[in-house]
Amino acid sequence: MLFVEASSGGVVGGSLTGLYHLIRGLDRTRFSPAMVLYEPKSIEADLKALDVPVYHLRRYRMAKEHALLNYDGYHQAKQSREVRSLLRLGRQTLRLAVEELPAAVRLARLIRKSRADVVHLGNGMRANFDALLACRLTRTPVVCHVKGFEKYARRERCAARHVDAMVSMTHAVQDHCAAHGVVARCNQVIYDAVDENEFQPRRSAEDVRAEFGLSVATPCFGIVGNIQEWKGQAVVVEATAHVHTRVPQAVCLIVGGAHRAGAEYERALHRRVQELGLASAIRFVGFRTDVPDLMNALDVIVHASIRGEPFGRVILEGMLLRKSVIAAAAGGVPELIRDGETGYLVAPGDSAVLADRLVSLLGDPQLRADIGARAQAWAREQFSLAQHVSMMTKLYERLTRHPSD
């Protein structure tokens, strides 16, 4: 098995984390996994500890900014549909020649060198177009794992017809692909999972809270994820302002490092916290490797993405830790939570309703405990790693025509 993870931005996101958990669960007497990365990642040490070879593939990336953006005539010309179509075609052609074909040739060499029976692409159609080409060049069976609501063009629709299997992480993602004509030879929904045995806190909640000067009795909630505008940390800041007027002692932790594209957004968040006078109520924790410890120390976990989240791994992690989770009801998220039973769903961007839910949960320990217990049982039943690995294993075996044992 050759896994290809093409994400960039200097962070470890849900796609790579999902592949890591899948690799952990594979039967190593039957599968020999290796990983291809397009940039160094902090998770490499964990992969190597599993005896998984890690290869780095160099791919040139065209700059999104260019000189023509400084000219008014360029923007005026783009008002024409014909001009936009020509520009799009030109950029796709240039991208194919400069980025994708050279990377495809390099990856094809690696596929042959590793003698891969199956290539598993972890980032969907667009980000892995070079890898799709490499699999065509080497005639290697390919699984394309779609984990987002991407914009698709004619070339993705054409390429999909040659993909052996397309795995969507939720029904919402699969429906999005089908609506845009992106349909492979085999199409299947397989929910991502978290290895519950691996995702366990190593320190007590009391110790973690003490690190931030918080007592056991301090109402504490937080959001966990890379700092990017679409992840909705700004919504949580505004909700905290509402919460603070009703639960003045409450503290919010914002856990996560800034994505390369989120540096200015992070600075804006800090400015907004100062404007609202919430410096003592909101703590920016930054990137951490002890995420289970931090999440376990929270009373409530918030998911606040302002656009449809394909899955929402942090939601599942919180549920497995027996926590009450409030999540933005868009994309695939409603498939993870039964509103009012295993957590709460709120409209994306609605900081006032989010604050109301937070106040209700922070003030009722028994309600939090009841929801957390139901959430943990639900997550174990519907999103177990064993079930995820079993379904993936059967798919790999079909592609290689190896019967199940």
pLDDT digits (tens, 9 = 90+) for 160-219: 999 999 999 999 999 999 999 999 999 999 999 888 888 999 999 999 999 999 999 999
pTM: 0.82
Asked if the structure places residue 405 within a domain, the reply is no
Which CATH number characterizes residue 132's domain? 3.40.50.2000
Closest of 195, 218, 370, 225 to residue 295, by C-alpha: 225
pLDDT average, residue stretch 276-299: 96
Which residue type does 132 have?
L
- DSSP for 179-243, written as a single string: HTT---SSEEE------TTTS--SS-HHHHHHHTT--TTS-EEEEES-B-GGGTHHHHHHHHHHH
Asked if the structure places residue 176 within a domain, the reply is yes
pLDDT digits (tens, 9 = 90+) for 87-97: 676 767 777 78
Strands (E), 23-137: 34-37, 54-56, 119-121
pLDDT value of position 391 = 96
Asked if the structure places residue 337 within a domain, the reply is yes
What backbone phi and psi angles, to 5 degrees, belong to 21? -65, -40
- Computed over every residue of the chain, the mean pLDDT equals 91
Is the per-residue pLDDT at 403 higher than 50? Answer: no
Same domain, 95 and 220: no
Determine the Cα–Cα distance for residues 393 and 350; give it in Å rounded to an integer: 40
Would you state the torsion angle of the CA atoms of residues 363, 365, 368, 374, taken in this order, to the nearest 10 degrees?
Answer: -150
* Per-residue pLDDT band at 389 (split at 50, 70, 90): very high
pLDDT value of position 81 = 76
pLDDT value of position 404 = 43
Q: Are 309 and 147 in contact (CB under 8 A)?
A: no
Asked if the structure places residue 172 within a domain, the reply is yes
pLDDT average, residue stretch 139-159: 93
* Residue 70: both structure tokens together: 């400084």
Asked if the structure places residue 222 within a domain, the reply is yes
pLDDT value of position 200 = 94
Same domain, 281 and 247: yes
Asked if the structure places residue 200 within a domain, the reply is no
Same domain, 188 and 210: no
Determine the Cα–Cα distance for residues 278 and 254; give it in Å rounded to an integer: 13
Burial class (CB in 10 A: 0-12, 13-18, 19+), 67: exposed
The DSSP code for 309 is: B
Query: Could you tell me how far CA 168 lies from the centroid of its own chain?
Result: 13
Residue tagged 């039964």 (tokens) = 338
Same domain, 171 and 291: no
* Per-residue pLDDT band at 48 (split at 50, 70, 90): very high
Closest of 366, 365, 370 to residue 343, by C-alpha: 370
- Looking at the DSSP assignment, which residues form a beta bridge with residue 224? 255
Q: Are 361 and 300 in contact (CB under 8 A)?
A: yes
Q: The domain containing residue 265 runs over which residues?
A: 205-382
- Within 10 angstroms of residue 13's Cβ, the number of other Cβ atoms is 20
Is the per-residue pLDDT at 275 higher than 50? Answer: yes
pLDDT average, residue stretch 372-376: 97
Same domain, 132 and 233: no
pLDDT average, residue stretch 288-313: 95
Same domain, 188 and 236: no
Number of domains in the chain: 2
pLDDT average, residue stretch 308-318: 93
pLDDT value of position 90 = 72
Same domain, 80 and 178: yes
What is the radius of gyration, based on Cα positions, of the chain?
22
Asked if the structure places residue 209 within a domain, the reply is yes
Q: Are 50 and 30 in contact (CB under 8 A)?
A: no
* Residue 12: both structure tokens together: 């470890």
Q: Are 266 and 258 in contact (CB under 8 A)?
A: yes
The DSSP code for 259 is: P
Determine the Cα–Cα distance for residues 226 and 84; give it in Å rounded to an integer: 33
Same domain, 57 and 170: yes
Is the per-residue pLDDT at 402 higher than 60? Answer: no
Q: Are 328 and 309 in contact (CB under 8 A)?
A: yes
Same domain, 215 and 185: no
pLDDT digits (tens, 9 = 90+) for 334-362: 999 999 999 999 999 999 999 999 999 99
Same domain, 212 and 85: no
Determine the Cα–Cα distance for residues 123 and 145; give it in Å rounded to an integer: 6
Same domain, 154 and 282: no
Asked if the structure places residue 199 within a domain, the reply is no
pLDDT value of position 207 = 96
Closest of 341, 68, 331 to residue 175, by C-alpha: 331
Same domain, 175 and 250: no
Determine the Cα–Cα distance for residues 227 and 234; give it in Å rounded to an integer: 10
Q: Taking every pair of C-alpha atoms in the chain, what is the biggest distance, in angstroms? A: 65
